[in-house]
Amino acid sequence: MSEPSGGAVLAVTDLVAGYVPGVDIVRGATMHVADQEIVCILGPNGAGKSTLLKALFGLLDIRSGSVTLDGQSLLGVPAHHMPRRGVGFVPQTNDVFSNLTIAQNLLVGATTARADQKAAQERVFTWFPVLRDRRRQLAGSLSGGQRRLLGIGRALMTSPRVLLLDEPSAGLSPANVHEVFQRIDEVRRSGVAVAMVEQNAVEALALADRGYILDQGREALHGSGQDLLNDPRTAQLYLGQPSAKLADRVEPHHEGEGHAHS
């Protein structure tokens, strides 16, 4: 695969990780995320996608391989130090504190901020105006889409170089998926690189600059988002339909929008 233009912000090489000693879930994954780029990590259930993100954020021990951010190794950095190193992470579940307001959730995210908290909050409100309008509302009363935006906003309070998102579309209606993905695209355009694990392959590849498809913890396929949409092997991995093309199922979100890294 060709290297991403502009060089890699996040570079992962031959990464091996797992939960139980002696049992590897990620078995030699390699990927790169460039500046202002969205990279999707896709694959069937059990492929190791979420495990990869957890390992990158320091939630799992990396058994071998390398991970660098702007050329600096992240090996051995614990999760609670990752935000100060420039890595943000939004898990699939438990991404907000339901009994706190939106504003309070953002302040919790700012405890490890690398920049001015007030300025960081203003940036989040600019990206996600609905959060400004509801900033005194308890997070537990938000819709699924609004809750997902708050989780992303809280991670952005640390001004990350790269944002790791685990299944941002999980459990959302199609309208909310479109809204969340649109906001993720705006965050990317502001200068934050994004690595996103997704099961919604069609919508994710329509948004992504590039994608990696994992199978049994290893890279099975890679390419631009559009190329993977048009590659019958993608549908075969997901659907068991060798002649199918995922591109037949979607109109790309960024068509005609001057995508930065097509």
Q: Does the pLDDT value for residue 219 go beyond 80?
A: yes
pLDDT at position 110 is 77
Task: Report CA-CA distances (Å) from 121 to 106, 127, 143, 172.
Answer: 7, 10, 21, 25
Is residue 65 within a helix (H) or strand (E), and if so which, with residue range?
A: strand 62-69
Tell me which residue of 151, 200, 154 sits closest to 177, measured CA to CA. Answer: 200
Q: Which tokens sit at 137?
A: 């509302």
pTM, two decimals, is 0.87
Q: Which CATH class is domain 8-249?
A: alpha beta
Burial class (CB in 10 A: 0-12, 13-18, 19+), 135: middle
pLDDT of residue 252: 44
Instruction: List the domain boundaries for the chain.
Output: 8-249
Per-residue model confidence (pLDDT) at position 253: 45
Tell me what pLDDT residue 246 has: 64
**Lookup result for tokens 């509302």:** 137
